A and B are shown apart, each in its own frame.
Chain A
Amino acid sequence: MRENGKFFVGLGGVALVVTYLIWTGISETMVYYMTPIELMARVEADPTFHQVGVKVSGRVVRGSWTRADDELLHRFSVVDLEDESVRFPVEFRDMLPDTFNDTENVDVVVEGRFREDGVFEATIVLAKCGSRYEATAEELLG
């Protein structure tokens, strides 16, 4: 029984270590996950929120995407899925995924920081895969 006791201490130890890893991992890497409306409300209430890393999900504004020559700098605007009036410009200095474009309604998740000058500086841009877009009957006719 003594060994059994030791054994369970060992198992409990492993469980504790894993829990500790998850706990610290979460608390040190998590970011806010918001809609554009929530983001705007939050920075209005608390200007220091400009420094905080956030993840925002919205939709690319059609025709808003421009790209600088000779460097990887993409600019586009993201609009709230529910309120068309809430939108902000995004800057992104990396390669955009192939699923990204500004001719269809593409949903994106941008991760980064909403700067004081009102521009969202993204470090990660995820665009949803086209397989999710299923056309309605009207679109198929067109």
Chain B
Amino acid sequence: MILLGELALWIALPVGVWGAVAGFVGGRKERGDLVLSAEYSVYAVFFLLILPSAGIITAFVTDSFEYWYVANYSNRELPTFYKVAGLWAGQRGSLVFWALLLSFFSAAAVFTNRTKNREFMPYAVGVLLTISSFFLVVLLFADVNPFERLPFAPADGRGLNPQLQNYWMTIHPPTLYLGFTSFTIPFAFAMSALLSGKLDARWIVITRRWILLSWFFLANGIIFGMRWAYEMLGWGGFWFWDPVENASLLPWLTATAFLHSIQIQENRGMLKVWNMGLVTLTFLLTIFATFLTRSGLIESVHTFAENTTIAFIFLTFMGVMAGLSALLIAWRYPLLKSENQIDSFVSREGAFLFNNLILLGAAGSILWGTLFPLISEYFTGQAMAVGPPFFNRVNLPIGLALLALMGIGPVIGWRRASRRNLVKNFLMPVIVGTLVVGALFLRGVDHGMALLTFGLSAFVMTIIIVEFVKGTKARAHIEGEGHLVALYHLVSRNRRRWGGYIVHVGVVMIFTAFAGVAFNREVVQTIDPGETITIESPFGHEYALTYQGLSSPRGENMVRQAVALMTVERSGRPVEPLTAEKVLYVKWEGSPLTIVGINSYLLEDLYLILENVNDLGGAFENDAAAQRATFTVQVNVFVGWIWYGGFVLTLGGIIAMWPSRGLTRTVSRPKTKTGGKQPALAARG
């Protein structure tokens, strides 16, 4: 199995290269046989790439430590669960996994388009296989072959870093990878549209579900990562503006911009060049994310081993892709002329454009800040760095502007919003938002940014609720349906719109949660058993945590644990006790892991960290004298709303993506032949 996997890697490369060539040539010469051959190559590469992944997993599960990769990331005692996850635990395996996902999505795209959109397929397949082949070349020739053998077979492996031995390890990286790789499909279709000159909105209609899918995976991957950081790292936070975190946020930001700007192209035939640029940029940023994790160019807690060969190859690849896309766009520029002009910036187009600009601004600031050490060193010879203060400072106002636009965009009229449209849609939400700010201020909330966030959140929520109520009522009235039935039909008739609203609700919840950070409280104290730490939450709950002592349960022999137990009273009533631990993996030298204890309530989390045990060695041996310890107790306000918001966002995303039966409103507007100068008269469809 393992050998077969290695062999398959070698066979997949020529198949991929052949398919890419056949796709391009077949498209150019309109040779159906070549195109078919290219499509079969996509399937073949996918099936071939199952083997290396299966081979790696087999090697892990059978403890084949003669393989360098397995010896480095596994050991005999590692639970099978994590042995399977070994596929993406290190750089080499994760590149194979990446290639597998990419080939899977490529095959899915070919399969779903086997009888339609045929004119796009040759070049799309060519692009997809070119990218797959690139990853295969990297795997085989860049000194990262996962099947590299050691000159001997060690008795046992080094084991998986205990920090990664967490169930999120099996969820967070694959979800992000799914998001990164699936964005290749829209990119391939965009390039195909450029190459074939079919530059109406069809490539967007074909790929918009893919765009949503990729966006959806990225959003979830990022939220899972936040959750992991919150639960696991014991730093009482969920986002650190670490370069690799930033790298995963960048394509999400540009994909969000793209999701909105394509609606302008679909409805008004504008922004064609912009959309081509955005799809290319997002694709490049997904590659950039892998590049940053692997290059070691920027200091990050996530980096894999430094491998400058890989860094160089990826950089070259990104450069070539960027250059080629730019050339294609320049070549097709005459065909990408806008069919309409902006009439007014008090319009939906205007709101969406501002949204795009702001999202790109956020992405730009994050990219700039992340690369700032390199940039400043290059230009001045002295490296300078920026950290969380910079990112927060810039992105807070940007986030607030986005929040406001999230309310305005979906309901403002197209082309030029009338005064009536504005008053009708925004008067009540503005009043509600203002009332919320006023009420909170009177109750003593005096944090300006937080107040603004809460006010804007109320504004957006009111708009969305009004939309739902209006839509449901109208439908119930016209069709004579009950309200629930009407709501169901309303949503299922235009899933993208109503799913989008639900996604917005999720995002509002997440933004509100971010603002909660301003009200977090923290106490650090060193105590003996029997002593109590008290902390008051901003909502007036008084928490009293009484230290019951440390114990060291007899676990597996490779693990030493010191578990601190705290009984908890919330406003005088006993609630769930909390435990916080230090866990030492004996095989893995270094410090013990810190495992936090969390009690979650609707509006706040009680968060306990065992910072330090004065005599940790003694505590591991259950020494009754070694009990004195330092704790940090935090009340984290609204943090749960990030995860609730994540659920809502997921729900909305699924509704928006759900395949619709029967009547689909495909928007393939006939191209109006405007000489470019004709005023915006194009009829609204």
Interface residues of A (CB under 8 A from B): 3-4, 6-7, 10-11, 14-15, 18, 21-22, 25-26, 28-34, 55, 57, 67, 69-72, 95-101, 103-104, 106-107, 109, 111, 124, 126-135, 137, 140-141
With a cutoff of 8 Å between Cβ atoms, the chain B residues found around residue A33 in the complex are 373, 376-377, 383-385
Does B301 contact A127, Cβ atoms closer than 8 Å? Answer: yes
**B150 located at the interface, meaning its Cβ lies under 8 Å from any Cβ of chain A in the complex:** yes
CA of A53 to CA of B426, assembled, Å? 47
Interface residues of B (CB under 8 A from A): 65, 68, 71-72, 89-90, 150-152, 154, 157-158, 161, 163-164, 233-235, 296, 299-306, 341-345, 350, 353-354, 357-358, 361, 364-365, 368-369, 372-373, 376-377, 382-387, 389-390, 393-394, 397-398, 416, 524, 526, 588-594, 609, 611-612, 614, 628, 630, 632
With a cutoff of 8 Å between Cβ atoms, the chain A residues found around residue B397 in the complex are 21
Does B357 contact A11, Cβ atoms closer than 8 Å? Answer: yes
With a cutoff of 8 Å between Cβ atoms, the chain B residues found around residue A132 in the complex are 296, 303-306
Does B365 contact A25, Cβ atoms closer than 8 Å? Answer: yes
CA of A109 to CA of B89, assembled, Å? 24
Please give the distance in Å from B410's CB to the nearest CB on chain A.
19
Q: Which of these, B152, B305, B353, B389, contacts A29 with CB under 8 Å?
A: B389
With a cutoff of 8 Å between Cβ atoms, the chain B residues found around residue A140 in the complex are 65, 71-72, 150, 154, 157-158
CA of A11 to CA of B344, assembled, Å? 12
| Known contacts A22-B365, A33-B383, A134-B72: A128-B303 contact under CB 8 Å | yes
CA of A111 to CA of B353, assembled, Å? 39
Q: Which of these, A3, A55, A107, contacts B343 with CB under 8 Å?
A: A3
CA of A12 to CA of B234, assembled, Å? 43
Does A29 contact B393, Cβ atoms closer than 8 Å? Answer: yes
CA of A142 to CA of B306, assembled, Å? 23
Does A30 contact B526, Cβ atoms closer than 8 Å? Answer: no
Dominant secondary structure of chain A at its interface with chain B = mixed
Supply 15 further A-B pairs (C-beta < 8 A) apart from A10-B354, A104-B589, A126-B301.
Answer: A4-B341, A18-B365, A18-B398, A25-B386, A25-B393, A32-B382, A33-B383, A34-B382, A67-B612, A69-B526, A70-B614, A106-B590, A128-B300, A131-B164, A132-B296
Please give me the residue from chain A that is nearest to B299 by CB atom.
A109
With a cutoff of 8 Å between Cβ atoms, the chain A residues found around residue B354 in the complex are 10-11, 14
With a cutoff of 8 Å between Cβ atoms, the chain A residues found around residue B296 in the complex are 132
Does A98 contact B387, Cβ atoms closer than 8 Å? Answer: no
Does B526 contact A71, Cβ atoms closer than 8 Å? Answer: yes
Does A57 contact B299, Cβ atoms closer than 8 Å? Answer: yes
A-B contact pairs, 11 of them (CB 8 A): A15-B357, A18-B394, A31-B385, A33-B373, A67-B612, A72-B630, A95-B594, A98-B234, A100-B591, A129-B161, A132-B305
Q: Which of these, A95, A128, A130, contacts B632 with CB under 8 Å?
A: A95
With a cutoff of 8 Å between Cβ atoms, the chain B residues found around residue A127 in the complex are 301
With a cutoff of 8 Å between Cβ atoms, the chain A residues found around residue B357 in the complex are 11, 14-15, 18
| Known contacts A7-B342, A10-B350: A141-B152 contact under CB 8 Å | yes
CA of A15 to CA of B361, assembled, Å? 7
Please give me the residue from chain B that is nearest to A139 by CB atom.
B158
Does B358 contact A134, Cβ atoms closer than 8 Å? Answer: no
Q: What 4 pairs across the A-B complex have the smallest Cβ distances?
A: A18-B361, A33-B385, A33-B383, A101-B590
Does A131 contact B161, Cβ atoms closer than 8 Å? Answer: yes
With a cutoff of 8 Å between Cβ atoms, the chain A residues found around residue B65 in the complex are 140
Q: Which of these, B306, B377, B590, contacts A104 with CB under 8 Å?
A: B590
Does A101 contact B387, Cβ atoms closer than 8 Å? Answer: no
Does B72 contact A3, Cβ atoms closer than 8 Å? Answer: no
Q: Which of these, B151, B161, B416, contacts A137 with CB under 8 Å?
A: B151
CA of A130 to CA of B590, assembled, Å? 9
Please give me the residue from chain A that is nearest to B164 by CB atom.
A131
Does A70 contact B90, Cβ atoms closer than 8 Å? Answer: no
Does B345 contact A26, Cβ atoms closer than 8 Å? Answer: no
Q: Which of these, B383, B384, B591, B614, contacts A101 with CB under 8 Å?
A: B591
CA of A57 to CA of B384, assembled, Å? 12
Does B387 contact A29, Cβ atoms closer than 8 Å? Answer: yes
With a cutoff of 8 Å between Cβ atoms, the chain B residues found around residue A14 in the complex are 354, 357-358, 361
Does B630 contact A70, Cβ atoms closer than 8 Å? Answer: yes
CA of A11 to CA of B611, assembled, Å? 49
| Known contacts A4-B341, A130-B588, A134-B90: A26-B386 contact under CB 8 Å | yes
Please give the distance in Å from A58's CB to the nearest CB on chain B.
11
CA of A131 to CA of B361, assembled, Å? 32
Please give the distance in Å from B148's CB to the nearest CB on chain A.
10
Please give me the residue from chain B that is nearest to A19 by CB atom.
B361
Does A21 contact B383, Cβ atoms closer than 8 Å? Answer: no
With a cutoff of 8 Å between Cβ atoms, the chain A residues found around residue B163 in the complex are 98-99, 129-131
Please give the distance in Å from A76's CB to the nearest CB on chain B.
12
Does A55 contact B344, Cβ atoms closer than 8 Å? Answer: no
Please give the distance in Å from B576's CB to the nearest CB on chain A.
24
Does B90 contact A32, Cβ atoms closer than 8 Å? Answer: no
CA of A103 to CA of B609, assembled, Å? 23
With a cutoff of 8 Å between Cβ atoms, the chain A residues found around residue B373 in the complex are 33
Does A55 contact B385, Cβ atoms closer than 8 Å? Answer: yes
Please give the distance in Å from B302's CB to the nearest CB on chain A.
6
CA of A137 to CA of B69, assembled, Å? 11
CA of A126 to CA of B235, assembled, Å? 12
Greatest chain B CB density within 10 A among A10, A95, A101, A124 is at A95
CA of A76 to CA of B215, assembled, Å? 44
CA of A137 to CA of B592, assembled, Å? 26
Please give the distance in Å from A1's CB to the nearest CB on chain B.
8
Greatest chain A CB density within 10 A among B343, B345, B398, B609 is at B345
| Known contacts A18-B361, A95-B632, A98-B233: A30-B345 contact under CB 8 Å | no
Does A21 contact B89, Cβ atoms closer than 8 Å? Answer: no
Please give the distance in Å from B153's CB to the nearest CB on chain A.
10
CA of A96 to CA of B304, assembled, Å? 21
Does A71 contact B630, Cβ atoms closer than 8 Å? Answer: yes
With a cutoff of 8 Å between Cβ atoms, the chain B residues found around residue A71 in the complex are 526, 630
Please give me the residue from chain A that is nearest to B609 by CB atom.
A95
Does A126 contact B299, Cβ atoms closer than 8 Å? Answer: yes
Please give the distance in Å from B391's CB to the nearest CB on chain A.
8
Please give me the residue from chain A that is nearest to B344 by CB atom.
A3
With a cutoff of 8 Å between Cβ atoms, the chain B residues found around residue A124 in the complex are 387
CA of A71 to CA of B629, assembled, Å? 9
Does A137 contact B150, Cβ atoms closer than 8 Å? Answer: yes
Please give me the residue from chain A that is nearest to B614 by CB atom.
A69
